[in-house]
Structure 1
Amino acid sequence: MSNVDIDNDGFQKVKSKRLSKNKPTRIPPKAIQFDKRDVVVEVEKVFQRIQSAVEDLRVSNYLGGFLNTV
């Protein structure tokens, strides 16, 4: 290492990092396979889960504390 410029703080001065910044990012190729599945949504089950979550939130301390601060 010849002619190394050192700052007053003891750090090495770097002239430019431009060469490393201009390199393109290389992404390794990989095979992607998408599985086609028939999505079946059971509306009654989903509705029951939402209602259960709403009831849990209504009786929770979190909602009471939140409403008191707002």
Structure 2
Amino acid sequence: MRHPDEFDAERKGKGVVGDAVFQAADNPNDVTAWHDFETLDSARRFIDSERLRDVMTGAGVAGVPTIWLTTPA
């Protein structure tokens, strides 16, 4: 899987209600994926899923990604 949209239906089934993917202007290998979730618990289940790790590996993610859980201020 090389494109994030290929995972779209699965993301929605895991509680994702909004998402976007960004690349750094000076380094296309520096990618940020942003997701909004229905609940913080669904976000935690999503980031802990083996399927997400498989998809990221298939997309070429190298190393351990930085993942932040945040809430609106």
Instruction: Report TM bin, short chain.
Output: under 0.3
TM-score by structure 2 length? 0.24
Structure with greater helix share of residues: 1
TM-score by structure 1 length? 0.25
Structure with greater strand share of residues: 2
Q: Which has the higher contact order (CA 8 A, sep 6+)?
A: 2
